[in-house]
Chain A
Amino acid sequence: MARIVGTLRFLRALVAMNLRASLALRGAFWLQAAFMVLNNLVFFATWWLLFARYPEIGGWRLHDVLTLFGVVASGFGASAVFAGGVRDLARSIGEGELDSLLVQPKPVLLHAVASRTLASGWGDLATGVGMLWIAGALAPGMLGWTALAVATSGTVFTASGVIVQSLAFWIDGMETLARQIWEFTLTFSLYPRPLFTGEIAFLLYTLLPAGFVGFLPAELVRAPSVPLALAALAASLGWTLLALFVFGRGLRRYASGNRILP
């Protein structure tokens, strides 16, 4: 128990330090965050245009896509803010950058992913929260369900990132491929679930967990229920455990980069 509390304190310190580091470059921080909001809104305009012409796609309306986009943007933003190191994990493994973390007393994975933050993530988070507010998902009776949906979305997204990036322990030069596989998960999670059937739907709940990043959490906000909440929680727990397992197995194979880092 004391170990868990200690780890949580360490995580809190990392997050606080990252935030201070981001705000040290105040201009760049606000520029990145604000432009990301603008970027997301311009991107969402495509949906607005499509639904203005065709009010329903597979039973989904603009409001449903707004909810989906809000959940995914919030989850993705939280992942970028609190676990920004996932994006470069494969490179860190390949270049032996884990050396300095291995000699420290805190969990290597936690240190590697939480010691970096992306300022643009705040822009994603702000966009997502704004969209959820417009969609009515932040009403008092909904807040708990929405928070759970966002938390599970961000957790599965982060965990899936750790899994694909950890393949660098076994395969050289995984950086680009890992990032692309991860981005496919994000891409699929931003489109209405009814578009995907058969084997593709299966793929989106397994290899590319877009179903657990987007569809399931969004469904939890659209029609909250205890079974859906339990399913989302189980998914995030399952993916987290799988990520810990894969990273742990990979770490046993880790060969030092033999680099002296500044």
Chain B
Amino acid sequence: MSGARLAVSTQKYLAIARASARRAFAERAVLAGRVVFLGVILFIFSRIWETVLARGALTVSGAGKAELIWYLAVTEWCVLSVPPVFLAIESDVRSGDIACRLVRPVSYVGAQLAEALGETALRLLVLGPTGAAIAFALAGGWPADPWGLLLAAPLGALASALAVLSTAAIGLSAFWIVDTSPIYWIWQKLAFVLGGLLLPLELYPDWLRALARFSPFPAMLWGPGRMAFGFAPGAALETLLELLAWSALVAAGLAWLANRARLRLTVNGG
């Protein structure tokens, strides 16, 4: 592909992403709901940590209540910023609209990804500062070493992008099964548990922590989240490399699935 064509192609997807972000911004109720949900979860877990730590229980590598709340703020920020792209794809496949969308001069999956990433970017921008404000209020300030949060921001954005790729792949499974939600539920809950959404992996038994490291989920959640425990460039670099590797792998899987889906559509009709 020549440079000029690549630039035109990129501009098309950027335009889709921008339009999607504007639409998401207009849906204030959805955004407000996400912010309130983030606040509710942070509140509940601030109470849990307060109750547990009041008994003098051991915490994670010296991290106290404030660090654990900030950890949760980061992991939830990554999760809540991801729109349900699998439902959009499933809806297109079920209704047959996908046949109309395939004739457009953009890749169907590429356009879906651009839409989802545009919305993700908007949510990251809204939920980031509001989540930080809520965490600040509930934790009574910054974590002991707040500089790690600067590293959490880019890692969280990359983690959300990986989640978008993964959920788009789940959406493409609609070509083979009627309802993709059950697969999404399992993926989501595995991400929560193996990724350490609510509890840092340091609190897990050794065997489960070792098992989790074979999945992309620790890089998606625990990796950015543990930056709340302090400034750790080495750990951040490790997470960054893992996120890039998993993103490449999932993107390759997504391309393969998209190709298989297109063949299936050609054979069976829209």
Contact = CB atoms under 8 A, between A and B. Distances in A.
A58 B183 CA distance: 35
B40 A188 contact: yes
Interface residues of B, number: 38
Interface stretch (B126-134, B192-200, B251-259): B192-200
A52 interface: yes
B33 A191 contact: no
B29 A35 contact: no
Given A184-B40, A187-B40, A194-B51, A46 B178 contact: no
B192 A173 contact: no
A35 B57 CA distance: 35
Given A31-B177, A180-B37, A50 B193 contact: no
Q: By DSSP majority rule, is chain A's interface helix, strand, loop, or mixed?
A: helix
Interface string B31-73: 0110011001101100110011001011000000000000000
A189 to B, nearest CB: 11
B186 interface: yes
A172 to B, nearest CB: 11
Contact of B52 (A36, A42, A57): A57
Interface string A190-212: 01001110001000000000000
B213 interface: no
A191 B182 contact: no
Nearest to A31: B182
Given A25-B178, A176-B33, A187-B40, A58 B51 contact: yes
B190 interface: yes
Interface residues on A, range: 35 or more
B212 to A, nearest CB: 11
A39 B185 contact: yes
A27 B52 CA distance: 44
Interface string B14-30: 00000000000001011
B245 to A, nearest CB: 25
A223 interface: no
B192 A195 contact: no
A46 B36 CA distance: 22
Interface in A26-53: 27-28, 31-32, 34-36, 38-39, 42-43, 45-46, 49-50, 52-53
Interface in B105-133: none
Contacts of A45: 193
B192 A46 contact: yes
B92 interface: no
B249 interface: no
Contact of A28 (B179, B183, B186, B188): B179
Interface in A10-29: 25, 27-28
Given A39-B185, A58-B51, A184-B37, 4 more contacts: A35-B186, A36-B185, A45-B193, A49-B204
16 contacts: A35-B185, A38-B186, A39-B188, A42-B190, A43-B193, A46-B192, A50-B198, A52-B205, A53-B199, A54-B52, A57-B51, A120-B181, A177-B29, A184-B37, A187-B40, A187-B44
* The 5 residue pairs across chains A and B that have the minimum distance between CB atoms: A35-B182, A42-B189, A180-B33, A39-B185, A195-B47
